[in-house]
Amino acid sequence: MKETYEFNKEDLAEIEKIKAKYPDKKSPVMPVLWLAQEKFGHVEPAVQHLVAETLDIPAAHVYGVVSFYTQYYGERKGKFVFDVCTTLTCQLCGGYDILHHLENKLGIKAGETTEDGMFSIQSVECLGACGYAPMMQITNGVYCNNLTTEKVDSIVDGLKSGKMPEFEQIPFPQHQDEQKNSEG
């Protein structure tokens, strides 16, 4: 069975808005790919062709871009993708322990997807949250900081029951100290 993909009127209106930000035809390809990935959950070849046609640019160009940037899902992934950071600071602070814990818990290796299509695990490069290591990102969205195996367990269980963790604001330490001082 071949699935077909298309943009609806609202998407096309949004794409027009995106196009207005750039002076040429090729430049909007990244934001439009983001839009498509949010809509379809991936940017498999069929979606790449849709993007190429919509923007009137070569399909090969879209393919080259999709395969260059790691956040675009050129192949279908699980419903929830755990991007576990293992770079340097996270490595120092136990990022690999978190990764292996997740792997054991879900019974898959990094780069794989569970059979029910719910979860994928990826070992990724620095996500820019080094002060809050170890950490991971869920499906290009929310950051889960200062992970422990218990915290990971509750996140996975929460997701199973449809609860996405919320954005976690990490207070700016100098503000916090001040508060503590004033409280004290």
Minimum distance of another protein from residue 48's CB (angstroms): 7
Binding another protein (rule: CB under 8 A), the pick from 40, 41, 91, 110 is 91
Q: Interface with another protein by CB under 8 A: which range of 7-15, 86-94, 101-109, 150-158?
A: 86-94
CA pair distance 17, 120, nearest whole angstrom: 33
Within 10 A of 168 (CB to CB), how many other CB atoms are there? 12
Q: Is 114 in the site for another protein (CB under 8 A)?
A: no
120: exposed, middle or buried (Cβ count in 10 Å: 0-12, 13-18, 19+)? buried
Q: Is 164 in the site for another protein (CB under 8 A)?
A: no
Per CB under 8 A, which of residues 23..82 are in contact with another protein? 23-24, 26-31, 33-34, 45, 48-49, 52, 57-65, 67-72
Q: Is 132 in the site for another protein (CB under 8 A)?
A: yes
CA distances from 53 to 108, 137, 143 (A): 37, 32, 34
**Please, which residue, 31 or 105, has the CB nearer to another protein?**
31
CB 135 within 8 A of CB 143: yes
- Nearest residue to 133 (alpha-carbon basis) of 151, 106, 153: 151
CA distances from 178 to 5, 169, 172, 174 (A): 53, 17, 10, 6
Total site size for another protein, rule CB under 8 A: 61
Q: Where along the sequence are the contacts to another protein (CB under 8 A)?
A: 21-24, 26-31, 33-34, 45, 48-49, 52, 57-65, 67-72, 83, 86-89, 91-93, 125-133, 137, 140-143, 167, 169-170, 172-175, 178
